[in-house]
Amino acid sequence: MRPSARRATGRTARPARLLYGASLAAALVVPVAVPAQAAPPSRTPVHLPAADGSKGQELPGMPTSLDARAEVVACTPASKERAKKQDWSRQRLDLDRLHRHSTGAGVTVALISTGVDPGAEGLDGRVTARGEAGDDCVGQGTFLAGLIAGTGGPTPRLAGVAPDAKILALRGTDRRGQPDAALVTAAVRAATTAEADVIAVAVALPRKDTALTRAVAEARRAGAVVVAAATPEPPSRGSADEIPSRTYWPAGQPGVLAVADMLPAGSRPDGALPTEDIDLAAPGAGVVSGGPRGKGHYLGGGVAVATAYAAGAAAAVRAAHPGESADAVTRRLTATAYPADIPQLDAYAAVTTVLGEAGAPAGGAERAAEPVAVRDTSDTDRATGRAVLFVLLGSAGVLSLLWAGFALTRARARGWRPAGAGTPDGS
């Protein structure tokens, strides 16, 4: 593993605020550049952003956990809405083209989260749930399983990264979604015993646990690719700015691929917990998937979503390159990532790139049709604002000249007399 990349601090592009009437002038005279819009960095976003940044269909949000203080556990209700378009994250990862080369067939991904409903739409009986993991009250684990291995059901363009992979569902939280070190440790050991090819730990623990460290080391020795959330989700109350940068576990363990979430612009969401232990960033806002109840869709986001995407990419790589070791798969994912402050997952490049002996991409490696990073449009926005202001000032000047010409013509017709004054004969 190479040294962890530093935390991204890029800014999310903001649309220019135009004065009243400026939009008409700009549309007629200036070609305005529209920046890509990030989904709100909330834990339960409600709008599906189109790839071009326009507002799309509204969907219910998928929570990362349930209220730990509530006396009665109320599970996430079924969604009655279905997404009508492919979200930005799947387009950015170029999954349609990736699936021509790998679908993850023959690979098992152990997902350690809130559980997975084995009968969820799009998972087609490819889920094995251990213990209580078949009961997903929160819904997030089923949501993540759809991103890893879902077929999309009647909407194939909403398939996961590795739609032919199998899911081994393991519980790493209590029923409300609160992480527990003992549960995560037991889940990692169960995944190792089951000979899972990829282990996705969708939770992050604030303290290093000796038993968990040993379990992860055993999993790696057994040949599993271990992918883990680089941080927990930000607190629902208070500010993440008050929390100092620190290492979380098991992401901080050597050999584990630590994954963080990113917005469409490539930066981490506002309020994301700081850490230096990040190897890879993946889409983690405004992402569409299903849940454990009903056939509707939800919007989800956060570090767990990004971890699921990276785990799906690892499954696709293992299926396409079965002879590569777990360390080689991890190097492939990082070496082919789109270069940025935090390297950004490029699933298509990870599967198709021919690597040199040192693990670096050979010359002429092809990337996804759409680069993972969206260019920073802040300069364009400022230029557009200046152009609109120029148009407004120019339009005001032209109107002033027209009015002056009109006034002069009227004054000449009156013989230069003030308006309302009588004629020379006194009429």
Residue 21's pLDDT is 35
Residue 235's pLDDT is 85
Residue 22's pLDDT is 33
Residue 418's pLDDT is 61
Residue 15's pLDDT is 37
Do 316 and 102 meet the contact criterion of CB atoms below 8 Å apart? yes
Rounded mean pLDDT for each run of 10 residues along the chain, 427 residues in total: 42 34 31 31 40 62 92 93 93 96 98 97 95 97 98 96 98 97 98 98 97 98 98 77 90 98 95 94 97 96 98 98 97 97 97 80 53 38 45 54 62 60 49
Residue 49's pLDDT is 46
Residue 8's pLDDT is 40
Tokens of 114: 């809130």
SS3 for the chain is: CCCCECCCCCCCCCCCCCCCCHHHHHHHHCCCCCCCCCCCCCCCCCEEECCCCCEEEECCECCCCCCCCCCCCCCCCCCCCCCCCCCHHHHHCCHHHHCCCCCCCCCEEEEEECCCCCCCCCCCCCEEECHHHHCCCCCHHHHHHHHHHCCCCCCHHHCCCCCCCEEEEEECECCCCCECHHHHHHHHHHHHHCCCCEEEECCCECCCCHHHHHHHHHHHHCCCEEEEECCCCCCCCCCHHHCCCCCCECCCCCCCEEEEEECCCCCCCCCCCCCCCECEEEECCCEEEECCCCCCEEEECCHHHHHHHHHHHHHHHHHHCCCCCHHHHHHHHHHCCECCCCCECCHHHHHHCCECCCCCECCCCCCCCCCCCCCCCHHHHHHHHHHHHHHHHHHHHHHHHHHHHHHHHHHHHCCCCCCCCCCCCCC
Residue 38's pLDDT is 32
